[in-house]
Structure 1
């Protein structure tokens, strides 16, 4: 059965979207962490914190309600000023933040803390919230930009958390259904588990389709077009944005190319391997075929093959 916009807005509002009261709860928990970490960094190092930005899906309002399949992750970006961008500086930042987090929360289990490639993570078991603390060295010329360090590859990458938030806000302002589509795509990703595909990739693919085809008129149709784009293009099409139009286009040889709208020299999909790409396309093709079939059949249970058993369009 073809789903109306009202059907999918009901699904989004009642099943997918993070409730406002939970958002308030998580804000308070994150604000407390930021306050404590600021104090500990100031007391235990010579680092100067220029600003802290809440980032990621939480800040973009594309985050999903917590379920077994849908964890709650919040990114907070600490901008460090007056520091040189060198490997030792950035490497030590992650170690320092990890150590300070363990001091701030001394009663937490060791497994609740983790050093990842670009962040130090702390998980709060009771609320289910995971917070990634991302240190960046602020660019003196462009204060919203900062250099991020990958512990595995040792590569530096220029990022801009406020730019990413504004990018999503601009697409939402141009298309009132954009965030609903992003949450639907994330639910499909978390249910189908295409390897290597990240939430940010989904946000950018949907933004690319919006830039190309205009604002969404029919949510179900655009969602099917999203799956169809991945399946038919096989992710061989370069994905880029008007934000980069005035800049010199950089060539990338990676299997999948999705250009960062805040940094034209960064391919945000560079980690996706050829094998992962093939699996993503295969999974998207299966979902696309299922969605097309569900659209003409009078059986909502077919949509559960895409979104899981919690899919519903009415009480």
Structure 2
């Protein structure tokens, strides 16, 4: 049986979406974090930190409520006063961020701040809040664009965090179902254990690409099925770019080529390997077959069972 928007919204609102009280509690923690860091910036002007800004799924309004032992991941962009040539010096950038964190949280040990391959991580154990702080070096002469280090260092890429946020907000404005389709797609990704392979941003761009090139879906179910079918049929071999982006699409031999909607030179899926691409495609093909079959049968219990194979045991009708 085909599912109405109401049926899927009931599941999304109950299982995937933050209730008003939950959302407010986390927003208060995030606001306190940003205030603490901003105060440290103002009190320590010699740190070479310009400002911070929130990014990621929470800011875009596409975050999933965590389940089980999962934590809330928050992304912050840390704008640094560094020469553009230093944008690929990941140790320099990380050291600036760690120093800021030590000033903001003097009772924490340096080991509490964990420089990763791209970001610096900090975890608040009492609240379950995990924060990734990504360094950014403003580009001179191009408003709202920054250089960010490549994962693992060795280079830098040009992007616009503000432009990325505005792009997703525009898609949400054009299609009231956009966020719900993205949430179902992320839930499928997580249940299929593909969260290391397929980023949330890549999912947001895939759904956006389908909406822009084929018009918004007429139902949440149709949008989700279309997302799975596209991955299965295209095998993620098609180049996806966006006309709003600056510069020219870069030549790339990587298996998956989904480009940043703010810069055609930046492939946001460049780290997906051929093995990972194949895993994503196979999982999407299997999920599409299950959902397609669910649409063709009449019994609600059988329909629910098939959807559970795609979205997990907490799905309900």
- C-alpha deviations, 1:257-311, integer Å up to 9, x for none? 0010011110000000011111111111111111111222322122111111111
Question: Match of 2:202?
Answer: 201
- The runs of 4+ residues in structure 1 deviating greater than 6 Å are none
For 1:237 and 1:268, locate their aligned partners in 2 and report how far apart those are by CA, in whole Å: 14
For 1:87 and 1:56, locate their aligned partners in 2 and report how far apart those are by CA, in whole Å: 21
For 1:143 and 1:128, locate their aligned partners in 2 and report how far apart those are by CA, in whole Å: 35
Does residue 172 (structure 1) correspond to residue 204 (structure 2)? The answer is no
When residues 88 and 64 of structure 1 are mapped into structure 2, their CA distance, relative to the original with a 3 A threshold, is closer
Question: Match of 1:186?
Answer: 186
Q: CA deviation at 1:89?
A: 5.4
Equivalent residues of 2:88, 2:156 under 8 A apart: no
Does residue 132 (structure 1) correspond to residue 132 (structure 2)? The answer is yes
SS at match of 2:244: helix
- C-alpha deviations, 1:99-130, integer Å up to 9, x for none? 44255445557775321222111111222111
Question: Match of 1:310?
Answer: 314
TM-score by length of 1: 0.91
Question: Match of 2:222?
Answer: 221
Give the root-mean-square deviation of aligned CA atoms: 2.3
Equivalent residues of 1:91, 1:151 under 8 A apart: no
Question: Match of 1:12?
Answer: 12
* Count of paired positions: 312
Q: CA deviation at 1:205?
A: 0.5
Unmatched 5+ residue regions in structure 2?
none
Does residue 273 (structure 1) correspond to residue 277 (structure 2)? The answer is no
Question: Match of 1:54?
Answer: 54
For 2:110 and 2:310, locate their aligned partners in 1 and report how far apart those are by CA, in whole Å: 36
For 1:69 and 1:238, locate their aligned partners in 2 and report how far apart those are by CA, in whole Å: 36
When residues 113 and 48 of structure 1 are mapped into structure 2, their CA distance, relative to the original with a 3 A threshold, is closer
When residues 87 and 173 of structure 1 are mapped into structure 2, their CA distance, relative to the original with a 3 A threshold, is closer
Question: Match of 1:301?
Answer: 305
SS at match of 1:281: helix
Which structure has the higher relative contact order (CA within 8 Å, separation 6+)? 1
TM-score by length of 2: 0.90
Equivalent residues of 2:237, 2:256 under 8 A apart: yes
For 1:82 and 1:261, locate their aligned partners in 2 and report how far apart those are by CA, in whole Å: 25
For 2:292 and 2:214, locate their aligned partners in 1 and report how far apart those are by CA, in whole Å: 19
For 2:135 and 2:150, locate their aligned partners in 1 and report how far apart those are by CA, in whole Å: 11
